[in-house]
Amino acid sequence: MRCQPPAEIGASYSDIDTPALVIDLDAMERNMALLAERVSALGVRLRPHAKTHKSAMIAAKQVALGAVGICCQKVSEAEALAAGGVRDILVSNEVVGARKLSRLAALARQIRIGVCVDRFEQIAMLDAAARQAGAQIDILVEIDVGGRRCGVTPGPEATRFAAEIARCANLRFGGLQAYHGRAQHLRTPAERRAAIDAAQKGVIDTVAHLTAAGFVCDTIGGAGTGTFLIEGASGVWNELQAGSYIFMDADYAKNVSDEGGNAPRFEHALFVLATVMSATTSEQVVIDAGHKALSNDSGFPDVWRRPGLAYHRPSDEHGVIAVASGATPPSWGEKLLLVPGHCDPTVNLHDWYVGVRNFGTPQARVEALWPIDARGAVG
């Protein structure tokens, strides 16, 4: 029921059918090695977020580079990734509903599973599900460090949760989830630092209450691609959850990157390849990738290395490429590469990664076709 892959392994780059989700394998591997090296130098653990890639194959590469496991957001994602061989998964999110808790507990019999809570009643429900499955589940108490989404208020509240978790035979208090999603996309280093500094105060206060009550946080998790250097150097967070660094998207590229000139430069490694399917005027052409091939929630994609071309006016199956005066218009049938505005929901639209080696050179070849295992796993 999965769609046919848009290429065959070994095919030349020009034979990839469109729209296709294409990885520059060399760039992705450089991104993965660079982040792993930087996190290792900070002396903290890496648990990359698989909500970005949804691929057991890529998760395995992250673990091979030293990651202690991966994060995901949904029970069904965890199931798909566990089926692909991942052995340690944190669902960095709240899970609600008897059916989902029971599936989560079943998974925890097979692999190490952690999950977040921000509701007191949920602790007993998780314990009951784990007991029924004969499993142990690690619990992180999520605190709201500025995202105004999930999480309890930093301070004494988490201690009440930890005490309740400690009373449950099939749960283990693992620490805190302290992720500041909104901070990742603040444009200047100063804004990002201010946001994480404020978050850090909340984490320190919460940990002080926990420590005073005799609770140890094995894990203080959080951070993303936009801020991981700050959390990693804080002496507070000890497990970093960056995800987007492997691919980088057009929105992340708008962040001004300058942590004292020391920030790693991640490369764009994920593209939607599209074909010019209509070219009836000189001011614009139409390509075969619209809302169903690209998520436009964080802005339109950039047209890769084609100055003067701009994607706009997407509809479900079409995108319009405006051609600036003086720019070379793409020809009918030509293929264009788009850097997605936002990788995560774009990946979720596709069934296959087409991994290209020697991307951007005449030797470019399809080296890998990887299923996007957890595509559509929203439950």
The binding site for its own copies (CB under 8 A) comprises: 1-4, 6, 15, 17-20, 51, 73-74, 76, 93-97, 99-100, 118-119, 121, 144, 148-153, 181, 275-280, 284, 286, 288-289, 291-293, 295-297, 313-318, 320, 332-333, 342, 344-345, 348-351, 371, 375-379
| CA-based torsion, 230, 234, 235, 238: positive or negative | negative
Q: Dump strand ranges (E) for 131-187.
A: 137-142, 171-177
Q: Closest distance between its own copies and the C-beta of residue 184, in Å? A: 11
Contact yes or no for 20/354 (Cβ under 8 A): yes
Q: Which CB, 65 or 368, lies closer to its own copies?
A: 368
Nearer to its own copies, 17 or 267 (CB): 17
Cβ nearer to its own copies, comparing 220 with 377: 377
Q: In whole angstroms, how large is the CA radius of gyration of the chain?
A: 22
H helix count then E strand count, the chain: 9, 17
Cβ proximity to its own copies, 41 vs 96, nearer residue: 96
Comparing CB distances to its own copies, the nearer of 307 and 312 is 312
CB of 46 to its own copies, least distance (A): 20
CB of 261 to its own copies, least distance (A): 31
Closest distance of CB 142 from its own copies, Å: 8
CB 195 to its own copies: min, Å: 16
Q: How far is the CB of 56 from its own copies (least distance, A)?
A: 12
Residues in CB range of 77: below 8 A, 6 or more apart: 50, 51, 54, 91, 374, 377
**DSSP per-residue letters across 179-237:** --TGGGG-SSHHHHHHHHHHHHHHHHHHHHHHHHTT---SEEEE--TTTHHHHHTSSS-
Q: Which residue, 36 or 336, has its beta carbon nearer to its own copies?
A: 336
Cβ proximity of 110 and 104 under 8 Å: no
